[in-house]
Amino acid sequence: MLMKLPRTISFTALKATSWKDMVIVSLLAICTVTLVFYHAWISEDSFITFRYVSNTVDGFGPVFNIGERVQGFTHPLWLILLVLGSKIAANPIFLSIAYGLVFTFLTIAILGRALAQIVHNRITLSVLLTLICLLWSLSDPWLSFQTGGLENSLSNLLITTILIEAWFKTMRRPGWLLLLITLLCLTRPDFIIFSAPIVIILLLRLKSIRRLLDLSWAISPALAWLVFAWTYYGAVLPNTAYAKLGIYPSWVEAVTQGFRYLQDWLTYDTVPAIGAVVFLGVAVSVMRSKERLACVVGVVLYTIWIVLIGGDFMRGRMLTPVLTATVVLGSLVIAERSTHSKGKTRRFDGVVVAGLIMTLFFLQQTRPDPGAEISPHGIVNEQLFYPGYHLSFLLEQGHLENPYLDLRLADDLRRFAQSCGPITIHMRNPGTIAFLAGPDVSVIDTLGLTDAYIARLPREYLISANPRPGHPDKYIPLSYLLSKQDLALLPGWTESISRGDCSFISKLASFQYPSDFYPSP
């Protein structure tokens, strides 16, 4: 039975963080960063963001195709960091990986420092932080998506910092906390669900409009982005929301797919998933304040949201914030308990944690092989699916390799556009090809993620009544593709592009297609 703990930890009772504590924290953080680096890779979807970054740096603005203002990304803050970093490091691939490594270190360092302030025993600190790093490292999605070119490492860092401020420091710095929440929501809008309970409690504590207005600076980044998005893109929601949400026949099918996504995570990431449940249970056991209740409710609401929208196609990616949050909350409670425990109890807790570590190693060996195949429910381990996108492969071979698409096409497109002028093609997975081909090649995303017109086509245009998550293939009106001068409609277009035959473009004027839609129903 857990001991009765004080409602909050008094700051006067916190011990100063010694250099020895920080050496332990730093060593464990470095070990975890090393594992993340060993598994470093780049996801195919990240190249959509990289194209936005390169176009922005080249002076064309944050667009996927020149002249088309569409927000085909969901992580404004991540994009901004990549743009700023690209002013120094020209290659966004290596830059995104570097960010992931730095943010991983900071996540563990910040949590480790908070634990060190609570725990009065260095061995307890070492064992607890080892358990945390081990649990995160045993999670394939957590380890993979700390790089991968997407925003996970940034969101995990912000979630960790927010929960420490809200749970451990009991919202004593409302301005700083509100700014962190604002940045988290700019990292991905889904985190509005996660943050809402904390924001509500924070606002209730302020009690006056004047104090709220004094904190308006903290939400100014979000307001600035919303104004920019509305004026530049014509919408405050990312285009991906229009493309991906509402693709199922009813909410029942969406929730069913969401539970499949949750079940898939439990099946292939069993040990971390169980760990998340255990750590959440530990957090709930001492939920004796509104601040702590808000933290737990936020995690639960976010998980429900992921289920309601049907999950995702990338195995475990959308649930890594849940793993991060539950481990942070649970570890803070364990640290508190160790502080209020007597010698024998503390040693017993240490034995229990050490036993958990050995049990985790054993259980990890019994999990099913995830494989690189797409599951019957459309979920896949993206890192295994694209072995040629691993950092080790890129460093050894000097190029990426897509087993499903010849990336040399990008070089052909670039040369053709340089010789014959700007061109347009369509592709189902346009990220890598579009990024490598350059700004003179416009690419119509047939899934609609970067195309406003296709994203807003009604459900009736879906090819499948129950599409794969994140892949809403649609019948596209041929007139739209022809209006864009889409060369990929023409037979033998890749060969003509490879030959550099500029006269090939004129064939589009006499092109005949057997249907008014592409692909033909």
Decide if pLDDT at 263 tops 60.
Answer: yes
**What's the whole-number mean pLDDT along residues 360-365?**
63
Residue 161 to residue 155: CA distance in whole angstroms: 10
pLDDT band at 132 (very low <50, low <70, confident <90, very high): very high
Mean pLDDT (whole number) for 360-366: 63
Secondary structure class of 425 (helix, strand, coil): strand
Mean pLDDT, range 459-477, rounded to an integer:
95
Tell the burial category of 466 from Cβ atoms under 10 Å away from its Cβ (0-12, 13-18, 19+).
Answer: middle
Mean pLDDT value across residues 145-161: 98
Distance in angstroms (rounded) separating the CA atoms of residues 485 and 493: 13
The answer on pLDDT for 147 being more than 70 is yes
Give every CB contact of residue 326 below 8 A, 6+ residues apart in sequence. Answer: 275, 276, 277, 279, 280, 283, 299
3-state SS of the chain: helix, strand, coil percent to 5? 65, 5, 30
- pLDDT score at 345: 54
Specify the pLDDT at position 81: 98
pLDDT for res 347: 55
- 8 Å CB contact between 504 and 491: no
Q: Which of 243-257, 302-316, 327-341, 505-519 has the lowest mean pLDDT?
A: 327-341
pLDDT at 223: 97
CB 451 within 8 A of CB 445: yes
Q: How far apart are CA 410 and CA 417, in angstroms?
A: 11
For residue 444, what are the β-bridge partners? 426
Burial 161-200 (b: 16+ CB within 10 A, else e): bbbbbbbbbbbeebebbbbbbbbbbbbbbbbebbbbbbbe
What pLDDT, on a 0 to 100 scale, did the predictor assign at position 341? 61
Token couple for 234 = 């014509």
Q: For residues 361 and 29, give the distance between their C-alpha atoms in angstroms, rounded to a whole number.
A: 19
Q: Is 247 helix (H, G, I), strand (E, B) or coil?
A: coil
When pLDDT is cut at 50, 70 and 90, the band that residue 369 belongs to is confident
Mean pLDDT confidence for 85-96: 90
pLDDT score, position 72: 97
Residue 142 has pLDDT above 60, yes or no: yes
Reported confidence tier of residue 10, pLDDT bands at 50, 70, 90: very low
**pLDDT at res. 1:** 34
pLDDT confidence of residue 353: 59
Which neighbouring-strand residues pair with 22? Answer: none
Q: Per-residue pLDDT for 381 more than 60?
A: yes
Strand partners, 443: 425
When the pLDDT of each residue in the chain is averaged and rounded to a whole number, the result is 91
Does residue 287 have a pLDDT over 90? no
